[in-house]
Structure 1
Amino acid sequence: RLLIMVGGVLNNFLLAIFIYAGMVWYWGEQYLPFTSATEGITYSETAHKAGFQDNDIPLMADGDAVRYFDSDQLKIAMAKEVKVLRGKKDTVTISIPDQFVLQVNSDLENGEPFMSCNVPTIVKATMPGTGAEKAGFQEGDKLVAVNGVATPSFTQFTEQLKKNSGKTIPVQLIRGEKTVTTQAEVDGDGKLGFEVLADVSKLFKTEQHSYSFFQSVPRGIEMGCSQLVSYVKAFKTVFSKEGAKNLGGFGSIGHIFPDEWDWYSFWSITAFLSVILAFMNILPIPALDGGHVLFLLYEMITRRKPSEKFMEWAQTAGMVFLIALLLFANANDIYRFFIK
């Protein structure tokens, strides 16, 4: 009976491992080291308040080495102590405040990442009839200043464009070995009308790890276990006031999928949701598998089953709690996306 009860939980977790193993076997893993961020690292306002400074290079989080943007950001946000390299040789230890990860999650929902690699503004293609085409932008042009203000990163570039919406302004760019200044017409939305080169592997030195079929299995297990541990640590924050505000429902689930279809993102998110389902389903709440396991363990220890009446009341209470939680999470989404 116990094996049957945990079967669903186990299958969810095994599915996540299977997906992760398949992903690393097919795509491998591409990492962007912190040290490869040649254009610098920008931290959010929340991170600045915690003690981070722009261009700090993270070294350790709670004594564990951190190296990569994609895989180590959550570890840094959840740490109590982070060691960074500031400047070229100063090592600084930052004590992370309580509830920091909750504020980071809240900022992320508003489109502000905790830390980001500064990406230069390099033209990939121009749109017909736009200011970029009229200004003569070419593929490979690196835009470095807007209206006399230096814009070393794409974020700073877009900020300056918004400040000059509807104007014709000088834009400085590097084309080959030459520096060129051209007049460009910014539209009312603060855009010039070009596609920026966003392929990290073409902009920075990345590390590519490939896996054989047999190597992918242990890596899939490692990724599944790591994701589960990270989620369990993050789940603890749900019981705080700030954590409850960050609960999300169907809207939040849909929000994590990219705007354009991408198989890698689809499978990555599917595996993550499988890990979440496995963990949530094993919680000792009546009406969930974890609740049934709890009552079965009681029966195994005491050698007697709980009464039918008690089980009926427990199941009802569990369902009421789950429905209330579902309504609360989706109400949070409605407030977050339509009212706030």
Structure 2
Amino acid sequence: MEIVIKLSQFLLSLSILIILHELGHFIPAKLFKTRVEKFYLFFDVKYSLIKKKIGETEYGIGWLPLGGYVKIAGMIDESMDKEQMQGEAQPWEFRSKPAWQRLIIMLGGVTVNFILAFVIYIGMAYAYGDFYIKNEDLKDGIWVTNPVVESAGIVTGDKIISIDGQKVQRFVPSVSLDILMSKQLIVERKGRNIEIDLPVNFIGKILDENKKNVITLRMPFVIGKVDAASANSELKAKDILVSLNGTKIKYFDEAQMQLEVLKNKKVSAVVIRDNVETPISVQVDKDGKLGVTLGGLQEESLERLGYYKFSKEQYGFLESFPIGIDRGVTQLGNYWKQLKAIFNPSTGAYKGVGGFAAIYNVFPDTWSWETFWNITALLSIMLGVMNLLPIPALDGGHVMFLLYEMITGKTPSDKFMEKAQLFGFVLLISLLLFANGNDIYKAIVGK
């Protein structure tokens, strides 16, 4: 069932993005009286799952879910229809239209992608608001479980003050991504501000370590389940460990440090059970473990027990517009930073490039509309930016040649465009093989 839920979200998101992107080309083409011969969701290599011709356009669904396309008459595109280009230019063909109209047609897809992302972020601001912890309320700092982060100089208990000169106002999950893409942090440690310069290959090291968390909230030691082989039968699920061998324990990381020095000992402990402090004794094994599986607490419980104060903001319809637009601009900037890091070999960010399996795995195995729309908005930005790259066979490649034509007054020959399209197609296939090969490699080596 979990696979079905993930796959459903993946295909639904992909379908929405592809159909709207292609509509971005289709609508201006129709407005400028340009013939559109095909409109396809997914690729119809050799055959289609569904197809129906309405007027001059064949609409269909292909069997290969690697994208979609519109085939515009009189245009050298991925169909490589050379025969059509050898005939006399017809008034309804793309090549017969003024350069400014062709430019609008080519920019239509990415324009829709960016508009879609901003509309989703505005809608999410209105529907869900914001949920966060004020950074000033993070009294005991953050939890670091990644050795790469520790080696960079960030330790448990640090409070992140600023990232690349930008003051951190709210602690939200995206703070980890901001740190990952940053060069310099200022943290507060024991009342002192410390400047930390992150190494150029910080992202690459994180990817090599294969631990997703950069930083996270410090959490209490909550018992999720007592292992069958555990010697600690006094412990029960949902117990919260608050004292160990006479030492008060607030967070799991503090318990870890105590357990390390209490190996092979039976010691006193105190747990909160049914909201009451209950004294028990526990046996620490030779590895410094209690033989339990960790559990978690909901936000309400964390707040009630005094761990964190969560803030919730709801926005009216008009208020949602600037909030959503700001969120979209931020995500656009973040993705551009990621793209630059990927094309800089010294960062090692290329190791994180993934294909369709990586996108599929981003979706959760439980259905959440908030998560679904958040991922779809981000993918829409990614699709828009990637399509704007000046690579032949992408929208950005066509735009590049159109701008050249508009500036110089010279039109690249059909022969040149055919070769450029072929080069771009080979380059895209190579990138696709690399990205999906990365997915396969990670699956084989367990990363």
TM score, norm. by length of structure 2: 0.65
- Establish whether residue 16 from structure 1 lines up as the match of residue 117 from structure 2: yes
Match of 2:170 in 1: 68
Residue aligned with 1:143, SS: strand
Code of the residue aligned with 2:342 in structure 1: it is: V
Can you list the C-alpha shifts for 1:200-250, whole angstroms capped at 9, x where unaligned?
764510221211111111211111111011110111111233222221111
Alignment of 1:33-182 (within 5 A): 33-38=134-139, 40-43=141-144, 44-70=146-172, 71-88=174-191, 90-107=192-209, 110-122=210-222, 135=234, 137=236, 141-144=239-242, 152-154=250-252, 172-175=270-273, 176=275, 178-181=277-280
Report SS of the residue matched to 1:93.
Answer: strand
Q: 1:170 to 1:329 in 2, by over 3 A?
A: farther
In structure 2, what is the equivalent of residue 26 of structure 1? 127
Change (3 A) 1:198 1:39: farther
Amino acid at match of 1:236: K
Decide which moves more: 259-268 or 222-231: 259-268
Of structures 1 and 2, the one scoring higher in RCO (CA 8 A, sep 6+) is: 1
2:389 pairs with one of 268, 283, 292: 283
Partner in structure 2 of residue 165 of structure 1: none
- C-alpha displacement of 1:2: 1.2
Compute the displacement of 1:184 (Å): 8.6
SS of residue paired to 1:304: coil
Kept in 2, the 8 Å contact 1:158–1:190? The answer is no
Give 1:85's aligned amino acid.
E
The whole-number CA distance in structure 1 between the counterparts of 2:292 and 2:245 is 13
Over the aligned positions, Cα root-mean-square deviation in angstroms equals 3.5
Give yes or no for contact 2:164–2:184 (8 Å, CA) kept in 1: yes
Q: Which amino acid aligns with 1:48?
A: E
Is the counterpart of residue 297 in structure 1 residue 395 in structure 2? Answer: no
Structure 2 gap ranges (5+): 1-101, 260-265
Q: Which of 336, 358, 361 is 1:232 aligned to?
A: 336
Secondary structure of the corresponding residue to residue 389 of structure 2: coil
Structure 2 partner of 1:199: 299
Residue 349 of structure 2, aligned match among 214, 218, 243: 243
- 1: CA distance between counterparts of 2:291 and 2:370? 29
Paired with 1:185 and 1:150, the residues of 2 have a C-alpha distance of: 17
CA contact (8 A) 1:2 1:293 kept: yes
Question: How far apart in 1 are the matches of 2:130 and 2:229?
Answer: 37
Deviates more, 1:92-101 or 1:263-272: 92-101
State the one-letter code of the partner of 2:165. G
AA paired with 1:291? G
Determine helix, strand or coil for the equivalent of 2:386.
Answer: helix
**Cα–Cα, structure 1 residues 78 and 138, in superposed 2: closer, same or farther, change >3 Å?**
closer
Any conservation in 2 of the 1:82–1:94 contact (CA below 8 Å)? yes
Does 1:219 pair with 2:323?
yes
Q: CA deviation at 1:49?
A: 1.7
